[in-house]
């Protein structure tokens, strides 16, 4: 899941993810009623390898290849059935509309994704008329060309809490080689997100899954196919390092109503490991809205997501308001921490170009700007950098200095006379403004 409402949009970032999902089917339903007696047992293992690249400006492309095994124990002396193979290879593209209104802070992230499935999936049939198990279709993918679309909103109300509603559809365009046209899948979900620390994201919510009935070319409508299930879902995602993240989660059905008689899901669990590459640069455009961008983790199927969250502004912050000039370091110091406010005239460095860097540990792009400012301060003795932490936009420092602002980074640039010359929201704009000031000699004073 992309946390675009807490981090800037990724750019130049590539992510490789591996996920493993296990589903257990023990309950047999006729409509919404549980069928008593001995039933078959079904286990489904699906592994998915996915690759996603963020081009910047909200655009991304992805590729996913699932493979799995479905094992059925019919019972009553019938032999074990097994279906193994690849699922449908899927190509996708997505766009985050936050590129239009600016990402970061408490700005919403609204992502639209479209996908094309290729007919690499496998299908089989469980049971037969008069047998102990009614005839059900087993499938790893549609085994046919298919299309999918997903719309997901992520909105944070505070530093620690957000919500993420989503809706998606997946439909086959025709029959598989076995002559079966699988029913479409429609999903609608709502997740509550809790971020207790910068490296942990917890999610809990509900998911409605609707599947339409399948058709066979020779026998027509498959009676025992399709239905509606309401799930309770939960997840936990951990950012292990700058480039590595992993997540676990699961779901259990709260309500089941199937067509005909079917084996139905009892529970599912999943785990995901994601590795990111690149993403060091940002995507820039309009100086007031574009940001240096960090990364998100990808690699999900219908309900298995891996989250990534920024791990802070990095070390190197001072513990006071005084200058920290040292050989090879430069004049870099904290002006305020923890959302506390400050008096502007006290932090401006006399006869120096002063940069006030408003940052937060959830702002990934702030890290790149911080690293660049350290380099510039070490190279220019006439540059002073003052950091100001803004953990929330209702903190005292935001109320006094950032009224009407809802995204980071925000960097104020002052000349040697203490006059504010610019406000930059991207590394490109910051370097351009500093280039104008640092190249100028100090004004003559009488």
Q: What is the pLDDT of residues 102-125, one digit of tens each?
A: 665 667 889 999 999 999 988 877
How many other CB atoms sit within 10 Å of the CB of residue 419? 9
Distance, in Å, from the CA atom of 424 to the CA atom of 385, rounded to the nearest integer, reads: 14
| pLDDT score of 10 | 75
Span(s) in the chain for CATH 3.40.30.10: 331-438
| pLDDT score of 57 | 83
Ranges in the chain, pLDDT < 70: 1-9, 102-106, 127-135, 279-329, 439-446
| pLDDT score of 318 | 36
How many other CB atoms sit within 10 Å of the CB of residue 103? 29
Distance, in Å, from the CA atom of 38 to the CA atom of 269, rounded to the nearest integer, reads: 24
DSSP 75: B
At 374, is the secondary structure helix, strand, or coil?
helix
Span(s) in the chain for CATH 2.40.128.130: 13-278
Reading the block at residue 222, the tokens are 């498959």
∠ CA 263-266-268, nearest 5°, is: 120
Question: For the CA atoms of the chain, what is the radius of gyration?
Answer: 27
How many other CB atoms sit within 10 Å of the CB of residue 393? 21
Domain 331-438 classification at class level: alpha beta
Of the options 2.40.128.130, 1.10.3720.10, 2.60.40.420, 3.30.590.20, the CATH number for the domain spanning 13-278 = 2.40.128.130
Q: CB-hemisphere CA count at 13 Å for 40?
A: 26
Check: CB of residue 162 under 8 Å from CB of residue 195.
yes
- Beta bridge partner(s), residue 248: 236, 271
- For residue 309, give the nearest of 359, 248, 244, 249 by alpha carbon: 244
């Amino acid at each position: 899941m992309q946390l675009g409402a807490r981090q800037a949009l990724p750019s130049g970032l590539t992510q490789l993810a591996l996920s493993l999902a296990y589903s257990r089917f023990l309950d047999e339903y006729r409509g919404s009623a549980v069928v008593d007696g001995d039933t078959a047992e079904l286990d489904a293992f699906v592994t998915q390898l996915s690759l996603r690249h963020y081009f910047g400006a909200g655009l991304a492309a992805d590729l996913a290849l699932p493979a799995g095994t479905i094992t059925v124990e019919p019972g009553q002396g019938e032999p074990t059935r097994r279906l193994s193979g690849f699922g449908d290879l899927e190509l996708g593209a997505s766009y985050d509309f936050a590129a239009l209104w600016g990402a970061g802070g408490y700005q919403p992230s609204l992502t639209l994704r479209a996908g094309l499935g290729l007919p690499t999936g496998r299908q089989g049939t469980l049971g037969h008329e008069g047998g102990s198990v009614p005839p059900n279709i087993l499938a790893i993918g549609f085994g046919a060309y298919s299309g999918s679309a997903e719309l997901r909103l992520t909105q944070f109300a505070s530093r620690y809490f957000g919500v993420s509603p989503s809706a998606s559809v997946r439909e086959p365009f025709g029959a598989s080689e076995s002559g079966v046209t699988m029913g479409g899948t429609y999903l609608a979900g709502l997740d509550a997100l809790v971020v207790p620390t910068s490296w942990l994201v917890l999610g809990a919510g509900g998911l409605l899954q609707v599947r339409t009935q399948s058709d066979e070319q020779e026998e027509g409508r498959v009676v025992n196919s399709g239905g509606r299930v309401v799930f309770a879902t939960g997840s936990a995602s951990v950012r292990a390092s700058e480039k590595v993240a992993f997540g676990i989660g699961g779901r259990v059905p709260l309500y089941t109503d199937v067509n005909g008689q079917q084996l139905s899901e009892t529970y599912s669990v999943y785990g995901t490991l994601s590795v990111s590459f690149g993403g060091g640069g940002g995507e820039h455009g309009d100086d007031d809205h574009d940001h240096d961008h960090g990364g998100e983790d990808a690699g999900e199927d219908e309900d298995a997501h891996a989250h990534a969250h920024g791990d802070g502004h990095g070390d190197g912050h001072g513990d006071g308001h005084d200058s920290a000039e040292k050989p090879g370091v430069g004049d870099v110091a904290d002006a305020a921490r923890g959302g506390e406010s400050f008096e502007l005239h006290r932090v401006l460095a006399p006869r120096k170009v002063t940069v006030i860097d408003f940052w937060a540990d959830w702002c990934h792009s702030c890290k790149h700007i911080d690293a660049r400012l350290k380099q510039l301060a070490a190279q220019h003795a006439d540059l002073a950098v003052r950091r100001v932490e803004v953990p929330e936009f209702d903190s005292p420092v935001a109320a006094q200095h950032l009224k009407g602002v809802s995204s980071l980074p925000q960097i104020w640039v002052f000349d040697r006379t203490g006059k504010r010359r610019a406000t930059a929201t991207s590394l490109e704009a910051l370097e351009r403004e500093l280039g104008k000031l640092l190249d100028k000699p100090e004004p003559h004073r009488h």
